[in-house]
Amino acid sequence: MSAETTADGTNQGSADPLPVDLQVANLDQNIDAREMKRILFTVFRDHVMVEIMASASSCSSDDDYHKYEIDSEDIQEDSAVEYDLDYDPGKEIEDRVLHISVFVQSDGNLVASVRVPSQQDAQYAISQLHRKKIGAKRIIISYVNDNQPSPEIKRSKVIMLLQEVPGKKLPLFKFRELFERRFNETIGVSEMYNMRDIVTVSDSFTGRMVMLHPEYRHLQSPDLPEVIEETEGSCSRYCKLHSSEPDESIGWAERDHNTSLPNVGLTLRDLGAAIHALLQSHSGFLPLASLVECYQAELGPLEECEGGVPLEHLISCLSGISIVITAAGFKYIKWAENKILDEADELARSVSPPLVEQLALFSRELVDLFKTFPHCRLPFSRFIPAYHHHFGRQCRVADYGFTKLADLFDALPHIIQILGEGNKRILTLAHKAQIKRFSSDLLRVLKGQPTKSITLETFSSAYEKVINRQWNVVDYGVFDIEDLLTEVGETTVIVTRSGAEITVAIPKREQTSEEIERTRLFAAEVVELLRHSPQCKMQFNRFIPAYHHHFGRQCRVADYGFSKLIELFEAIPDIVQFFELY
């Protein structure tokens, strides 16, 4: 089996990155093709190159460019014409632009293709050059074939879709609509005409029809080997054991294939046991679209909960399990190794290093935005206007090195999750982001308590007082607060149980022997200082300046092993007493 390609453009079986082809469109047709090649080479070279030697400055001269020039009289208005602009390996400068070619489209417009060494180079080029003005127009950069699988895989998808349709034919407009909804990618009319060996596109009184050739109608659905691993065997969108048989008059392709699982009220422990059992009985492959039917067939009724958590999100919270999207566009559940990755490492693996800081800022913006929506959920189609309304500026996907919003979200799996498929996609905060957010809010609540601890029974009222909103555990992506507490680090809070009562507290660091001795001396200093105050009393906010004035040095709380002055006073309760002024 060949090495699997990861999101960062590298092979898991190889350390070498894969080259990436970019298409540059909307070129100024008033600029000579030879001059346009010069401009594009210069522009891309400045944004996708390794460290330049000082002696390489001569590369920008006309003599160097002469190597790449093609006489303009060679240019013909033919869609198949291509003009190479390959780099010279013997140059002193190490260019990261591997190849430039110019295509003359059938409409006479020029389109350039630029090859760069890696996905990260492509991302940085897009972030810097997309919509850059060259001549009188702003260039538009996209991935060649829009990063879609090979033509063979697209042909397989066409066959797979038409096999499910009664009569194995559909109106062309309907087929293209279903294709986009099913696989989340578009297919052009010209592409359909180029597949004459598998389909026929004909005119009728109702419009153009697309029909699958008879020899492909009863064949087994083709595999999609580039994405589905050999160990997974034959797999389909629906479970062959438990999915109900389709209506004979309606093909599966004509159903609503956009998976939308219900909201449920389950704990992670109960759901985890159920999903592990289902994976065992399904040989490690569980189509997400059939999950409810499989659950009901093997484990009993799955009750929906209107105020619950999306089932797909709860599954993503489980350890040892992952949700994967196949080349056919559907999701399935499989076993997964538990890999602990730092957020910075995750970003560095999938994005260009110069863009990491921008994406980190965008990640924080996403958390700020989503926590303003009910249960931190937002329809995919509403994200762009919601971002604009919240931050007062447009969300420009290209600024982060991407051409599609979905691809940008895919680069941030620790921040954002896309639930469902097609036009029913819902955005929500990922489980890791929710745990981090809950930990922060929990600390705010605990620090507002006199004892820095609280019971779960009184937590909701304290939460509403400190956070200024009603407590609802569903806002953090789970249905039980204990599922959150089990994932908060032990260095952040301590959870103790006494019968049915659960107490959460901020851990107190044990003082060293030196800090204990300093605290004992501090107690004597407090006595001396308060003896000089009327009635041995002093306002809390006046203690630090009074201490400095009396002893001639700062009172540094950290020297005693504490982070706040009030914690230091709490360590000497036999010396100091607090009371409120009314």
- Distance between CA atoms of residues 302 and 295, nearest Å: 7
pLDDT greater than 70 at residue 53: no
Q: How many domains does the chain have?
A: 6
**Segment 308-337 mean pLDDT:** 89
pLDDT tens column, 406-459: 999 999 999 999 998 877 899 999 999 999 999 999 999 998 888 889 999 999
**CA nearest 126: which of 111, 110, 109, 144?**
144
pLDDT greater than 60 at residue 498: yes
- Between residues 570 and 251, the one the model is more confident about: 570
Within-domain flag for 247 = no
pLDDT greater than 50 at residue 568: yes
User: Which DSSP string do the residues of 153-211 spell out, in sequence order?
Assistant: HHHHHHHHHHHTSGGGEEEHHHHHHHHHHHHSS---HHHHHTTTTTEEEEEETTEEEEE
Same domain for 203 and 184, yes or no, is yes
- Distance between CA atoms of residues 184 and 260, nearest Å: 15
**Segment 217-224 mean pLDDT:** 63
- Average pLDDT score, the chain: 81
Within-domain flag for 237 = no
Same domain for 190 and 293, yes or no, is no
> 3-class DSSP state for residue 28?
coil
**Segment 57-77 mean pLDDT:** 35
pLDDT greater than 60 at residue 314: yes
Same domain for 565 and 471, yes or no, is no
Mean pLDDT check: name the lowest of 73-82, 101-110, 532-541. 73-82
Same domain for 124 and 27, yes or no, is yes
Query: What domain range includes position 441?
Result: 433-505
Same domain for 425 and 442, yes or no, is no
**Segment 4-24 mean pLDDT:** 58
Tell me the pLDDT band of 466, cut-offs 50, 70 and 90: very high
> At 272, which CATH number?
3.30.420.610
Within-domain flag for 97 = yes
- Pick from 14-18, 40-44, 142-146, 308-312 the range whose average pLDDT is largest: 308-312
- Distance between CA atoms of residues 389 and 383, nearest Å: 10
Q: Give the residue from 335, 356, 387 where a domain finishes.
A: 335
pLDDT greater than 70 at residue 232: no
- Distance between CA atoms of residues 271 and 307, nearest Å: 17
**What residues have CB less than 8 Å from 103, skipping those under 6 apart?**
79, 81, 82, 110, 111, 112, 113
Cβ pair 154, 187 in contact under 8 A: yes
First to last CA, the chain: 76
**CA nearest 23: which of 154, 93, 126?**
126
Predicted pLDDT of residue 181: 76
Q: Give the residue from 384, 399, 429 where a domain finishes.
A: 429
Burial of 360 (0-12, 13-18, 19+ CB in 10 A): middle
Same domain for 105 and 200, yes or no, is no
Tell me the pLDDT band of 82, cut-offs 50, 70 and 90: very low
Counting every residue written for the chain, the total comes to 582
User: Which DSSP string do the residues of 196-236 spell out, in sequence order?
Assistant: TTTEEEEEETTEEEEEE-GGGTSSPPPP-TTTS-GGG-S--
Tell me the pLDDT band of 490, cut-offs 50, 70 and 90: confident
Same domain for 376 and 411, yes or no, is yes
pLDDT tens column, 34-47: 888 889 988 998 87
pLDDT tens column, 467-489: 999 999 999 999 999 999 999 98
Residue whose structure tokens are 């829009």: 146
Tell me the pLDDT band of 251, cut-offs 50, 70 and 90: low
Q: Give the residue from 147, 168, 200 where a domain finishes.
A: 147
pLDDT tens column, 131-161: 999 999 999 998 886 545 567 788 888 998 8
Same domain for 321 and 403, yes or no, is no
In a 13 Å sphere around the CA of 418, the CA atoms on its Cβ side amount to: 22
> At 453, which CATH number?
3.30.420
pTM for the structure as a whole: 0.73
Same domain for 286 and 379, yes or no, is no
Within-domain flag for 3 = no
Within-domain flag for 15 = no
Predicted pLDDT of residue 56: 29
Same domain for 24 and 96, yes or no, is yes
pLDDT greater than 60 at residue 229: no
Within-domain flag for 578 = no
Same domain for 476 and 392, yes or no, is no
Same domain for 26 and 133, yes or no, is yes
> At 180, which CATH number?
1.10.10.10
> At 93, which CATH number?
3.30.70.330
Predicted pLDDT of residue 246: 52
Within-domain flag for 59 = yes
- Between residues 98 and 411, the one the model is more confident about: 411
Cβ pair 286, 239 in contact under 8 A: yes
**Segment 181-186 mean pLDDT:** 75
Within-domain flag for 133 = yes
pLDDT greater than 60 at residue 355: yes
